[in-house]
C-alpha cells in the first residue's frame, strides 16, 4: 500500500504516530496519558497531580527570594540568580554575582610586578601584557600604563673610563665629562709612593705628582683621601664630581678628577 509510511499527530500526546497504529495509540493515550495544562507535555494521567506539584508549583529562590516554577529553580540557582556564588578571576574570592562587577573593577586594577620587564601591570591587563611585554618583543610595545608609580630598581653600568658605577640613564652624559684620554690602567701602574721620586717625563705624570703632593701637604692629619685610616670598603663621595665610590677606588678617581679640572 502507498500509505504505509503515513503518520498522524496524536492530539493527546502531540507525538507522531504511524497511521496503522493510530487508533490503538489514541485509545491507549486517552486512557493512560493526558496533556499537562501548564507545559503541554503528555504525562501519565495518574501522575498529572504529582507532575504539576513537582514541576509547576511556585517556589521562592532561597537566595534572592524570587518566585518561579519549581522546574526552573535549578537553572536559576546555577545560571541566573543574582546571589549565586561566583569566583573572582583575580583573587579567587567567592562572592555573590551582583557584587562581582564592582569587585572586579577594583580587584583587577591592582598591579603586580612583571618579572620579565620589571614593570607593574594591572591584573586585568596581564593576559594582554603577556603578549606585548617589552621583555619578550624587544621593547617595541607601547608603554604600559599603571595606576601605581613604577619603582623599578636603578640600573647601573661601569664607566670604561673611570670604572665608577654610573646610573644607566646618566652614562652618556658622564662619558662626555669623563676623561677619555686617561686610562684606568695608567693609574694602576703609577703608585702614589712612586710619584714623589718619579722624574715626570710626561704631562699627566707631572700633574699627578703635583696633585698628590698637594694632597699630602693639605692632609697632614692623615685622615684625608691619601691617609692610611678609614675602611677601604667604605663608600665615599668624590668632592669634585660627586660619584659614590669605595674609598680605595675613590683615591684613584680623585686624581683623575683633579687632572680633569687642571686640563680644563
Ligand atoms: Zn498519544
Ligand atoms: Zn506540566
Ligand atoms: Zn535566586
Ligand atoms: Zn578579586
Ligand atoms: Zn612585562
Ligand atoms: Zn667615568
Ligand atoms: Zn670625581
Q: What is the interface pTM, i.e. ipTM, of the complex?
A: 0.55
pLDDT value of position 138: 52
CA of 148 to the centre of ligand 5 (A): 15
How many Å lie between the centroid of ligand 4 and the Cα of residue 243?
A: 46
118 Cα–ligand 6 center, Å: 27
Q: Are residues 188 and 248 in the same domain?
A: yes
Q: Is residue 76 assigned to a domain?
A: yes
Neighbouring residues of 150: CB distance < 8 A, sequence distance ≥ 6: 119, 120
pLDDT bucket at 85, cuts 50 / 70 / 90: very high
Ligand nearest to the CA of 249: 7
Q: Is 115 helix (H, G, I), strand (E, B) or coil?
A: coil
Does a structural domain hold residue 138?
no
Q: Which of 169-173, 193-197, 238-242 has the highest mean pLDDT?
A: 169-173
Query: Does 69 share its domain with 28?
Result: no
Q: Can you give the pLDDT at residue 144?
A: 53
Among 29-43, 52-66, 152-166, top mean pLDDT goes to: 52-66
Same domain, 191 and 204: yes
pLDDT digits (tens, 9 = 90+) for 86-141: 999 999 999 999 999 999 999 999 999 998 899 999 999 999 999 988 776 554 44
The verdict on residue 145 lying in a domain is no
Cα–Cα distance, 55 to 243 (Å, whole number): 83
Q: How far is CA 76 from CA 55, 61, 64, 66, 107, in A?
A: 14, 8, 10, 10, 27
**Mean of all residue pLDDT scores within the chain:** 76
Kindly give the distance from the C-alpha atom of residue 31 to the centroid of ligand 5, in angstroms, as a whole number: 73
Residues 13 and 78 in one domain: no
Q: Are residues 185 and 258 in the same domain?
A: yes
Instruction: Indicate the helix (H) or strand (E) that contains 35.
Output: strand 33-35
> What is the length of the chain?
264
Residue with cell 695608567: 186
CA of 59 to the centre of ligand 3 (A): 11
- Residue 80 within any structural domain of the chain: yes
Question: Which CATH number do you get for residue 15?
Answer: 3.30.40
Q: Please give the distance, rounded to the nearest whole angstrom, from the Cα atom of residue 16 to the centre of ligand 2.
A: 20
CA 190 – CA 186 distance, rounded (Å): 6
Instruction: Count up the domains in the chain and report the number.
Output: 3
Higher pLDDT, 62 or 195: 62
Q: Give the end of a domain, one of 56, 73, 90.
A: 56
Q: Are residues 46 and 75 in the same domain?
A: no
Range of the domain at 216: 179-263
Strands (E), the chain: 7-9, 16-18, 33-35, 42-44, 58-60, 67-69, 85-87, 94-96, 111-113, 120-122, 156-158, 165-167, 235-237, 244-246
Q: Identify which ligand lies nearest to the alpha carbon of 92.
A: 4
Would you say residue 183 lies in a domain?
yes
Answer yes or no: is 122 within a domain.
no
CATH of the domain at 76: 3.30.40.10
Q: How far is the CA of 227 from the centre of ligand 7 (A)?
A: 18
Is residue 62's pLDDT more than 80? yes
pLDDT value for 114: 92
Do 11 and 73 reside in the same domain of the chain? no
Residue 154 domain flag:
no
Closest among 183, 193, 218, 190 to 205, alpha carbons compared: 190
Q: Which residues contact 137 (CB under 8 A, 6 or more apart)?
A: none
Look at residue 142 and tell me whether its pLDDT is greater than 80.
no
In a domain, 218, yes or no: yes
Amino acid at each position: 500500500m502507498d500509505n504505509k509510511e503515513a503518520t498522524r499527530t496524536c492530539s493527546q500526546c502531540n507525538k507522531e504516530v504511524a497511521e496503522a497504529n493510530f487508533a490503538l495509540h489514541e485509545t491507549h493515550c486517552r486512557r493512560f496519558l493526558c496533556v499537562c495544562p501548564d507545559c503541554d507535555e503528555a504525562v501519565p494521567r495518574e501522575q498529572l497531580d504529582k507532575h504539576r506539584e513537582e514541576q509547576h508549583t511556585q517556589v521562592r529562590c532561597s537566595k534572592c527570594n524570587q518566585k518561579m516554577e519549581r522546574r526552573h529553580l535549578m537553572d536559576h540557582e546555577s545560571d541566573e540568580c543574582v546571589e549565586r556564588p561566583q569566583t573572582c578571576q583575580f583573587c579567587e574570592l567567592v562572592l555573590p554575582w551582583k557584587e562581582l562587577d564592582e569587585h572586579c573593577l577594583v580587584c583587577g586594577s591592582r598591579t603586580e610586578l612583571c618579572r620579565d620587564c620589571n614593570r607593574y601591570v594591572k591584573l586585568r591587563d596581564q593576559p594582554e601584557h603577556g603578549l606585548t611585554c617589552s621583555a619578550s618583543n624587544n621593547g617595541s610595545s607601547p608603554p604600559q600604563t599603571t595606576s601605581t608609580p613604577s619603582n623599578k630598581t636603578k640600573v647601573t653600568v661601569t664607566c670604561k673610563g673611570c670604572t665608577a658605577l654610573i646610573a644607566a640613564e646618566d652614562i652618556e652624559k658622564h662619558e662626555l665629562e669623563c676623561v677619555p684620554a686617561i686610562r684606568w690602567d695608567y693609574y694602576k701602574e703609577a703608585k702614589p709612593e712612586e710619584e714623589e721620586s718619579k722624574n715626570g717625563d710626561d704631562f699627566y705624570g707631572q700633574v699627578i705628582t703635583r696633585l698628590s703632593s698637594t694632597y699630602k701637604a693639605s692632609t697632614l692629619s692623615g685622615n684625608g683621601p691619601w691617609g692610611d685610616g678609614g675602611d677601604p670598603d667604605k663608600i665615599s663621595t668624590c668632592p669634585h664630581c660627586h660619584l659614590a665610590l669605595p674609598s680605595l677606588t675613590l683615591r684613584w678617581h680623585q686624581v683623575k678628577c683633579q687632572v680633569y679640572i687642571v686640563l680644563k
